[in-house]
């Protein structure tokens, strides 16, 4: 006695049966295309414009399971709100002011620091010695 699964794995339909299935599929496809042509092209009404769609499953199919509406509500609208918020308050209110303010800030700082360059070598050496002493004192205090 052989197992049932073994028999089903070794069974191969004849070519005539396969060709018959192909033919039936093609005929069914032609009938569906013709029925769709009659229903929508000759009438000139698209499914979205047809007001006589019955409620329930046909309406659900016509509206594509409401996937677009759900996606719009759950994904698009919140992301539009967040992008508007970030654009207005974060980008324009903070980042643009920070980036655009660096130029004038550096110009003001350079206007103050240019007085430190006098060309007096003795003043430069004195500033270096004061800086080295400050670094040594800071390292002693911290460590």
- CA–CA distances in Å: residue 1 to residues 4, 7, 113: 9, 11, 101
User: Does residue 62 share a domain with residue 26?
Assistant: no
pLDDT tens track, the chain, 143 positions: 555 555 555 667 789 999 999 999 999 999 999 998 888 888 876 666 666 777 788 778 878 889 999 999 999 999 999 999 999 999 999 999 999 999 999 999 998 888 888 888 998 999 999 999 999 999 999 87
- Residue 16 and residue 40 in one domain: yes
Q: Is residue 117 part of a domain?
A: no
Is residue 119 assigned to a domain? no
66 in a structural domain:
yes
Burial status of residue 86 (CB atoms within 10 A of its CB: 0-12, 13-18, 19 or more)? middle
Count the domains in the chain: 2
Q: Are residues 61 and 26 in the same domain?
A: no
Distance (Å, whole) CA 135 – CA 132: 5
Same domain for 30 and 65? no
Domain that holds residue 23: 7-44
């Amino acid at each position: 006695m052989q197992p049932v699964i073994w028999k089903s794995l070794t069974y191969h339909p004849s070519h005539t049966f396969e060709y018959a299935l192909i033919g039936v599929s093609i005929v069914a496809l032609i009938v569906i295309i013709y029925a769709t042509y009659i229903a929508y092209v000759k009438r000139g009404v698209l499914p979205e414009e047809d007001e006589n769609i019955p409620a329930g499953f046909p309406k659900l199919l016509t509206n594509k399971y409401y996937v677009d509406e759900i996606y719009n509500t759950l994904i698009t609208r919140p992301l539009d709100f967040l992008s508007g918020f970030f654009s207005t308050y974060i980008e324009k209110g903070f980042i643009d002011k920070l980036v655009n303010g660096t130029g004038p800030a550096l110009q003001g700082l350079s206007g103050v620091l240019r007085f430190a360059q006098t060309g007096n070598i003795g003043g430069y050496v004195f500033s270096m010695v004061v800086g080295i002493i400050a670094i040594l004192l800071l390292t002693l205090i911290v460590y």
